[in-house]
Amino acid sequence: MSVDGWHTLLVLGGIRSGKSEFAESLVADAPTVRYVATAPAGGPEDTEWAIRLATHRARRPGSWTTEETAANPGRLVEVIAAAGPNETLLVDDLGGWVTVLLDPAHQPADDTATIAELAAAVRSSTARLVLVSPEVGLSLVPTTPLGRAFTDALGAANRAVADACDAVALVVAGQAAWLKPAAPAPAHAVPPAATSPEAEPGRAAAPRTAPADLGAGDVTLPEVLTPAAAPVPAPATSDEPGTGDWAAPTMALPMIATGLVIQPGMELPMPDDYTGPQAVDRLATLDIPGAGLGVLEQVVGFAAATQGTSTPRPWDSVRVLLIQGDHEGGASAGAPAGESARRARQARAGRGALARLAAENRAGLQIVEAPVSAPMEERPALPADEVEAALRYGWRLAEQAADAGVQLLVLAACGAGAEAAAAAVLAATAGAEPPTVLGRVVTEQGEIDDAAWMVRCAAVRDALHRTRRSAREAKDVLAELGGGDIALATGVLLGATARKLPVLLDGPVGTAAAMVSRDLAGQARHWCLLPDHGGRPGVRLAADVLGLTPLVDLRLDLGEGATALAALPLLRSALTLAATLPVHPSLGGPDDDRDTGDEGSDAGRTDDEPDFAEPEPAGPGPTTIGSDEPVSPGRRAD
């Protein structure tokens, strides 16, 4: 849907205002819609009314189903109350419902009580619900008792339903005006103190959340750190062009009293099917010397589809989610004790490869502790209730990022035994042989530890044997094999998909989570981009199954998440070129070589041309101009 933070919406408008078309466009991205028709069929002699109804029917896609409620006005309340959290309902319209309600055949009746029941059903609905209604009261008061009764009842219904809905829109002459924004964040949403997109460099991290508390409604999410970039002697570069804020369309699934509903078959949004190919086709018209962007055209297409525009902008606001979660038992064979905790502390302090690369990319860094996973060869890695809690917690982390204006998530992980757990998930979901997807174990001294590798293979083998008769549903795989870190990462991917937030994957935890999320919501993989497989066999296999093509083959092994950050400047450069280069002169673009006849004049220049300044004489060292930012010799201060 196209508006943030709501799942119930009232669309008001006059006759022929376009309100129905507008309401239909809001649910066009839903795979299935139940259309609730409230108006009576009319008499056989009323051909004009029959034509109106036929026009409405012709606009509905074939995947929609229709439910008629004209025979019983109370049926509408029953339909709304019975709709589940994964259903989408379009009610068109309340004017027809009031007409039936006032019909003498349904009288005497307490119209006020019936309207109150409708408002209560809307308020408590767990479905995505759009209601259409005529706006009344903008003309003369009707001169007949029946006309006044209709306008009074419809006005009362509109007020009651508008109060119950998260948002209200008024359509006038085909133009929509939003009268009521999304409702305030419910209790499950991110607390205000936790939604700050930036934190002071060097600030201490918030206390780590106990695994048992992940699903609690009052949990404070981890602080978002801003690592400070290390001093570099090279001159500073100019600001990146073409970046800025944009309002990406988002959506969120409904909530119920017990929390977020995460289950197979969720209806989450897909990237735009048209803007991606349009952006790639547009590259052929740009003034690019040579053959063009090569495989980086995929980045342009991905960004265009996820941003919903054929001229995508480089990602300006980036957040790295570092998930720390250890696995006990043979999965962690060969891993130094306490290594993942040390890596997390290092990242909090702004040290290490991940924090340094995050600083260079101007990315926020959020460290999240996942529940410790039990030995999967002996018993389930995580209890079922903790799997649910970890999924919801990951979803909330993605929601927090989207609410803070983040435009790209980078999924990172550090945890003993995570690669073995990911291999077990791949074996369970893709039928892979564990030894073929489990990477070699490298010691701190850079040596290959084959003995530890064999212990890990045996742990995965025994876990698969233990669960050979268990269900292979997504949550069962997470509970038996995946554990806390993969469950939390799965929740992040699902939440990011719901909020239309693209994610860079980098490593076994992220790709294993993508495999599981595919079975919960098939749309999730389309919001993921894999810059590099890192030479890991499990990541290669998952990418092949998911249809993700790695963009580069750097074979960096800097820890999960760091490779994506190392490749991010290259991806941004491709988007910058796609957004700022002009059309080639042969296709109607500006000709930089044409003679203007006036040397030194600005005539013939385009707004896309950069304004260069002559370098100033080099002084003894960097200077400052009105700020604490060092300015290198030769750099112009704007």
- d(CA 319, CA 405) in angstroms, rounded, equals 10
Query: Which position has the token pair 């099917």?
Result: 273
Q: Which residue intervals of 125-180 are DSSP H helices?
A: 145-164
- d(CA 376, CA 373) in angstroms, rounded, equals 8
Q: Which of 537, 560, 564 is nearest to 551 (CA)?
A: 564
- d(CA 339, CA 335) in angstroms, rounded, equals 7
* DSSP, residue by residue, 262-290: --TT-------TTHHHHHHHHHTTB--ST
- Report the relative pairing of strands 167-172 and 175-180 from DSSP bridges: antiparallel
Q: How many Å separate Cα 428 from the centre of its chain?
A: 26
> Residue 59 in contact with residue 4, Cβ under 8 Å?
no
For residue 339, the one-letter residue type is: E
Q: Find the catalytic residue in 560, 599, 609, 629.
A: 560
Q: C-alpha angle with apex 552: 549 to 558, nearest 5 degrees?
A: 110
> Residue 393 in contact with residue 215, Cβ under 8 Å?
yes
- d(CA 152, CA 145) in angstroms, rounded, equals 10
Looking at the DSSP assignment, which residues form a beta bridge with residue 318?
A: 363, 408
- d(CA 438, CA 487) in angstroms, rounded, equals 19
Respond yes or no on whether the N-terminal peptide bond of residue 371 is cis (omega within 30° of 0).
no
> Residue 298 in contact with residue 531, Cβ under 8 Å?
no
Looking at the DSSP assignment, which residues form a beta bridge with residue 503?
A: 409, 528
* DSSP, residue by residue, 525-557: GGGEE-SB-TT-HHHHHHHHHHT---SB-----
The upper half-sphere exposure of residue 51, i.e. CA atoms within 13 Å in the direction of its Cβ, equals 4
- d(CA 305, CA 123) in angstroms, rounded, equals 34
The upper half-sphere exposure of residue 68, i.e. CA atoms within 13 Å in the direction of its Cβ, equals 7
- d(CA 463, CA 56) in angstroms, rounded, equals 56
Classify residue 115 by burial, with Cβ atoms within 10 Å: 0-12, 13-18, 19+: buried
> Residue 509 in contact with residue 560, Cβ under 8 Å?
yes
Catalytic residue list contains 297: no
Give the phi and the psi of residue 442 in degrees, each rounded to 5: -110, 125
> Residue 416 in contact with residue 327, Cβ under 8 Å?
yes
**Three-state DSSP state, 597:** coil
- d(CA 177, CA 167) in angstroms, rounded, equals 11
Active site residue ranges: 560
